[in-house]
Amino acid sequence: MGLMSAAAVHHMAEAKRLAYEDASRYYADPAFADIPVDYLLSDAYCAERAKLISPDKPMTRAFPGDAPVKGDTTYLTTADSSGMMVSLIQSNFAGMGSGLMPDGLGFIFHNRGANFVIDRNSPNNYAPKKRPFHTIIPGFALKDGAPWLSFGVMGGSMQPQGQAQIIANMVDFDLDVQSAGDCPRWRHDRGNGGALGVLSLESGAPLATRSKLAEMGWTVAPMKSYDSGYGGYQNVMRGAEAYGAASEMRKDGLALAY
């Protein structure tokens, strides 16, 4: 292309844009985050990203690439012109779930039977045809007795905490369907035997809030950036004349209309 030619500078600048988008997406202290360094530096990934560079014009907008991530709970919601709304969630619980797959259906049964106890005096003792405790919560909410939200917040024990925060954000704090999910979240992980446990807040939470909580006696965890540890949110909201939809910035997801 020639030293300092327009073509050379163009291609290198475009490569820089892509690299910096990946950096903004994945940079973190590797002692505290699982960063897919080998994949990001692989020839295959570089070749994939290079295909985005046009030789004669810059990209309108550069985006970070999608590195492989560990599988997790999947939530989706949809609605149609008739007013039908569907809230769906799927999770194996641990590893490959039970390892059993219904013929021809392509999904594995979960293994939440692990949440039973063997104590015969417990209300949650193991028994045939009995449903175990679990945290799969495809959410649905009514407003004034009519369908309003078909929504979910993935993330194990974060699910009920996250869903309560979404409802509070919309009902009590008057946030719209997207802002309710973008708002910083808190998460409480309980201690053994009802001990205080740890209260975590995302980095977007006010420092004054963190300081006051600590002053009140809470054990407040170090701040974390927005990530799927605080759940994965999707929502379809039914309005009087149209639907609204929102998706999550903490993990994969998008809102689509048709």
| Domain range annotation of the chain | 1-68, 74-246
pLDDT tens for each residue of the chain, 258 residues long:
888 878 888 898 889 888 888 888 888 888 877 888 888 999 999 999 999 999 988 888 888 887 665 556 788 899 999 989 999 988 877 777 888 889 998 888 888 888 888 888 888 888 888 887 777 889 999 999 999 999 999 888 888 899 999 999 999 999 999 999 999 899 888 777 677 888 999 888 888 998 899 989 988 887 766 666 888 899 999 988 889 999 988 877 889 887
State the pLDDT at residue 2.
82
Task: Say yes or no: do domains 1-68 and 74-246 share a fold.
Answer: no
Q: Which of 154, 156, 155, 181 is nearest to 167 (CA)?
A: 181
Q: Is the pTM of this model over 0.75?
A: no
What pLDDT is recorded for position 237? 95
The answer as to CATH 1.10.246.130 being correct for domain 1-68 is yes
The rounded distance, in Å, linking the Cα atoms of 136 and 158 is 11
Query: Does the domain at residues 74-246 carry the CATH identifier 1.10.10.10?
Result: no
The three-point CA angle 256-145-245 to 5° equals 10
- At 61 the pLDDT is 81
